[in-house]
Structure formats: structure tokens, C-alpha cells
Structure 1
């Protein structure tokens, strides 16, 4: 599997990303009821009915009453509430983008670690093969007094060390594959082979500035959206200054046949601008305005910090490329030639095995240092891509 295929699998199958989809649908379902009214109230009972055993005239017997009441919200409040709830659904969409950026970065790093491990294990197989050859030569020479017994033992020890390094690298490869399978929501032991010919390249962003990061980074966009959402909430709170309405209808049927049926229709209006009631929403609006200002300051600070980190990584990656180029074109080829010459001299009986082993160890150590440096280089590329969210 190539890296783009793995990233596509993660985007479509990772459970944590699917959870965000469900949360978005939850908010959308909640939005459907944003314009709902309160349930109507109905009641039945007696109206102006005297207590028993009292003197009363026919018209004083009271009446049986049926009542219905309905609260009618202000349309402006419904519209403001709907707009606020619409922003909450977008919050989860942006949260999904943030989560995918984290998972994408993790997958890249695991993929690059597998590339490093495949390169490392190739070096280790070559080193083991060379030491196996040296050990066989030492064992052949010893009976003819052309070599010493300690050279045989030293070669055997180095061969065992090479075997241990192979075992460790193979274990790392299994661990990386299990982690990648988990990200793709596949069975841990599912077969996974990567494209070992994949070329990792560093491409600095040409137009990298705070404006680019503000438009690209999902966490920055999330923060900007939170500001927008809070502004929608402020607008909703401001609507609390507008009145609500209530309509009530009462129907009375008198217990006296001489009395007519009666009704009452009442229209009521709330007065939210009264000083003892307006304090609640006014204080909330004031508090949220301060929070918005704080979030704007945090956003500015984050953009400045992110831009500085990204530029710093660009500079460091350039230095790393030069170091790796030295390893690939100068250091490792020279040490490889040194080992080849030492092996040839040993075969011609012009050098001790100990000196060949020293050359072998120097090459192995340099190759491991090279792969460690390459791994750090790949890791920084991953961090850079994550920081600019590419």
C-alpha cells in the first residue's frame, strides 16, 4: 500500500472520525426543532364556585371552566437561536479536520519509520553476510596456523550481535504495521506491505505566512469559528430584550340555567427590559465579549508561534539535507571501500581479522547513524507537514 492509499483508508474507516460524522448529524437533527413552540397548556375546573352550606342566589352558583393557554415566542428569538445552532454543527466538522490532521501525521510517521526500518534491515543483512564470511574464513585459517582462535570467537560474537540487531528491527517493523492497521481500522495482524520505493521529499511552502496558516490550519479555523459561534450566541442573548407573547382563552358554563355562558380572551406581553430581569442577559453579553477578545488574542499568538516554528523547521531541514547528502555521497561510500580493501587484504593474508572487524563495525555504526539521522529528517518533515496542514 502506498501512503496516499493508507491515508484514504484512515479518512474513510477510522472510528474516531466516524464519531464526528454522527455528532454533526446529531446537531443537524437538533436544528430541526429550533423553531418549536412550547406545548400548549389546557385545564378544567370550577370558576367562582362558593363553598358548600352557604346562602347563595341562583346567579352565585359559579361555573365550570375550560382553559387553554399558549406561549408564543418572539420570531426574532427563533431566528437567532437557529443561527446559533447552525454554528454548533460546523464545530464538529472542524473538529473532524483537526483529528484527521493528527491521524494523518501519525500515519505518515509510521510509514516513514517503516521505510527507515526496511533500509536498516537491508544494511543489517549485508553486515551479517559479511561477518558470516569472515567467520568462515577465520575457521578455515585457524587449523593451518594462519589465524588466531580469539579472532574466530570475536567474529562469532559480532555475528551474534548482528543477529540481535536483525531481531530488534524485525520486531519494530511488526509494531509499526500493527499501529498502521489500527489507524485504518483493520485487524492488527492483517497483512500490510508498503511501497519501499516511495521517495520522501521536502517541499517548503513558498507563500508561507500568517494568512496562509489562518486559512489552512483547522485548529485556527476552529478558533475563528468559535468566535463566530460566540458572536451568534451574543446575538441570541440580545434578543432576550425583546418581548414574548402569551394567549389565553377561558370558557365558563354556569351551574345556573339562568346565567349565560361566558368567555375570557387574554393577550399577554413580557417586559424583559425591566431592570430586575435585564441584568441576566446583559451580564452574559458582557462576559462573552471579553471571551471573544481573549480568543482573538490567543489566535494571534498561535499564528505567530506556528509561523516561527514552521520557518525554523524549514531552516533545520535544509541543514539536515546537507548532512544526509554527505552520508550518502561521501562518508558511507568511503567506509564501504575501506571495508572492501580490508577484506581483500585479509584474504591475501596481509591483515588481521581484528582490523577487518574494526572496519566492519565502523561501517555498521555509520550506517546506523545515517538511518537515525534520516529518521529525524523524516520526523521533522512530518511535523512540518502537520504544522502547515498539507
Structure 2
């Protein structure tokens, strides 16, 4: 065990001092800070450029007050998204368009309710749609008034239906579901990137040390299985260090959201169970893929040979992430349920199902049990491959050759 810890410490120190690790960690920290300030910056940009001013040819101001009351959309700074200005004539409005004072002109025509909208830019964007909807609402209100309905009766008639959405079982719904959806997507994406990044880090480290003959010298005093275990432990601690630094940055940004003009985010909105599940699936997924990559990497002597041998397992990760996106929308669907029982997909897919759906307890136990058993079998198989291949040089075997080598063990 002492040798394992010595190799793990060496692996950890060597990588944590690497310039690439420090740069990636710093960039991740900066990215988290930038994402935290992005909504405020976007709100300012939208407040400065998102609104428009529409002139209404309305000499007696009979139409413009009703339009203002109907167009209730606001910019983040509280200003109306569509500012309505009454003008006395079309010529006055046209002059305002040419000078850039107005973005568009609304011109009522005749007594039949026809209205034309003249706009300055080649594309009116959403402005015409908002005006059309507002004018339609106003027309309906006028017809109801003509039928003798009071203002209160008209408001009650046009009020949207109060639809209460309730999920069956223990699945979240409404605002809770929307909040969890964003968290699960972020955590799932981080899990996907972490498994690829750290799994390949283990493989490249094994191949690199073999190519420089360092492994030969270590094998004289340390068993190959101890080398593999120490390497996995070292990279695992490295990953926790890196994600720990990013997590601290994220927590600081969440707690100081109020200082940036936001309402702040109460950390209890992300339950501890979510963090615990993420850590559980990260550790099991890391052991599964990293040990697999370590065993296969021990069979290779050149980095160039790694692609064909490891591509199928990298493809499994990509397929697992795609399946997870599907599972986020249909967490209790047949495909998501079956996928959560496939150990190579379980870390991401079962995490999404447990957070957004209501899987039965036996399904959770079966998925995690299969993942744990497969991880243990993979670690055992990887140790045999590592032992057999760590001193093997030349062109590495194919997956079929690796299977034969494993059986021969």
C-alpha cells in the first residue's frame, strides 16, 4: 500500500504543477465568473438595444393609450419593450423614421379597422407580431364592449385559464422541474467532459511513461498493479482538486449574485442529494473508464496508436451523453430506463432519471449495482492487462488481441 500512495503522490504532484493543468484550472475559474456576470451584461445590452419606438398616427389619441396598456412587455431595466408615441400626421412620423427617432410607424386606415405598419429596418423582427397580437386583443375588447360587457367582465373573459400542473409519483414539476433541469444538464455535461478528459489523461500518462522507459525502471521495485492503482488514485485526487476549485468559484458567484444586481440564489435550491449523487456517479464512472483506459494504454507504446483502440469506448461516452439528453426530457421513458441499466451509460443517464423522474427503487438499485459490479470487473481486467502489457513494446494489439491477452492473463 505504501508504494500505491507514493505513486499516487508523485502522479498528483507532477500533474498539479504542470503549466497546462494550471492554465485549464484558471480558465475554468474565469469562465465560471464570466458566466455569472453574463446575465447582467446581457440585460444591460438588451435594455440598451432591445427596445423600439413606434409612432402611431393618432391625432386625437384614441388608439395610442389602449396600445400602451396592451403592450405590457418590459425590458430588464423596466422600460417598455415597445414605446408608443402618438403623432399628428403620417408626414411627421415619416420624418421621425428618416431621422432615426422612430423604428416604425403604425397608420390606421379608414373605419374598417385596417392598420398598416411601416418599419425602418429590412426585417421588423418580433415587433410586427407583438403589434398584431395587441391590436387583435384590442379588437376583441371593443367587440365585447359593443355587446355591453363591463371592464371587469371583459378582463375575466380574456383572462388565461389557471392550469395547475402536477406530476405523478415523486417527480418534480413546475418551477422545481425547470430549476432541476438546468442543474442536471450542467452536471451531466461536466460529468461527460470529466470522464473523457481524465480517462484520456490516465491513458496518455501510461503510454508516455512506457515510451520513455520509466515504467521499466519502476517495475523493478513496484508491481504493475500497484502502479495502475497509484496512477488512478493520483489522477482521481487531481480531478477532485480541479473540480473543487471550480466548485468554490461557483459557490462564491452564487452567494454574491445579489451584489451583481441579481436576487441571489439560495443554495438550498440545489439539494445536497444532487451533489451526493453527482459525486457517487463521478467516482464510479471515473473508475470504470479510467481503469479501462489504463489497461488498454498499457498495451501501447506510442500515443499515435491510442485512437483506434480507445475510440469505441470514447464513442460509448458520447452515446451516453446523447441518451442522457433524451432522458432529461423523458426520464421514465423506455429508452431512458433501459439505457440507465447499461453500465457505460449509467453514470449520466441514471443521474438524470433520479433528478428529473421518479424511477422505482429497484431500478435505481439495479442500475447502481450493475455499474458497481462492472466497475469492479473492469478494474480487475485492467490490472491483468496492465500487468501483461506494461513491458510490451511495439505496435499494440487490437481489441480482439487485448481480449486474447486478457484470457491468457
**Fold match (TM-score > 0.5):** no
Query: Of the two, which has the highest radius of gyration?
Result: 1
**Normalising by the residue count of structure 1, what TM-score does the alignment of the two structures yield?**
0.30
